[in-house]
A and B are shown apart, each in its own frame.
Chain A
Amino acid sequence: DTAVSQTPKYLVTQMGNDKSIKCEQNLGHDTMYWYKQDSKKFLKIMFSYNNKELIINETVPNRFSPKSPDKAHLNLHINSLELGDSAVYFCASSHLPGQGNEKLFFGSGTQLSVL
């Protein structure tokens, strides 16, 4: 069983479209994250949720809207896609940092290509 699963793995779409990436974890973690791997292969935090509540929002354009229906899911919806949104997006989960076991477990990534 995959611990952190995100879908789709590949997403090719036209500029201006709206798309969603889904993420689910079965590890019983209470904290979930979205990271973006930029063009220089750098992993940058976008959002962090703890028990469905937004904890970190790193100056991401408001076209990006995370949604956490429950603590096992954190989906990422992107409106009006732009060329610069093309990247690999990673979902991750962990126990709440500062409480002992905070290793992040990552999904396999979603490669988004905006044409």
Chain B
Amino acid sequence: ILNVEQSPQSLHVQEGDSTNFTCSFPSSNFYALHWYRWETAKSPEALFVMTLNGDEKKKGRISATLNTKEGYSYLYIKGSQPEDSATYLCAPRSGSGGSNYKLTFGKGTLLTVNP
């Protein structure tokens, strides 16, 4: 079972603040890293899937970076808005795919953006 750590567990910021949080995972048997955003009373929604060391992805004010050698990924939110309030989950995939893969979710970082 992959040991996936996300920090911090929760975070409160003011509207307009920029913030970031971390996902740590074993660097061995790594194939891909997923980020999801999960709003209360909704279902998780994919943000990014990254595979290569040094990958950087961006979607609006949200971006993510990946370091596969040391086993971590950062998610950044620039100019947080109240609608960014959600739990952000990361999930590394072990196994190359086909019939050999497993996606393991971290416990998430709960972000609350105060207006």
Contacts and interface: CB of A to CB of B under 8 A. Distances in A.
- A and B bound? yes
A43 B32 contact: no
B43 interface: yes
Interface in B65-101: 87, 89, 93, 95-99, 101
A56 interface: yes
Contacts, number: 59
Interface in B41-56: 42-46, 49
A42 B98 contact: no
Given A41-B108, A42-B107, A97-B32, A103 B97 contact: no
Q: What DSSP secondary structure best describes chain A's contact surface? A: loop
Nearest to B97: A98
A104 B103 contact: yes
Interface residues of A, number: 24
B104 A104 contact: no
A105 interface: yes
Interface of A: 35, 40-45, 50, 55-56, 90, 96-99, 101-109
Contacts of A102: 32, 34, 49, 93, 97
A98 B101 contact: yes
Closest 10 CB pairs of A and B: A98-B97, A103-B46, A106-B43, A43-B105, A97-B101, A97-B97, A106-B44, A108-B43, A55-B99, A98-B96
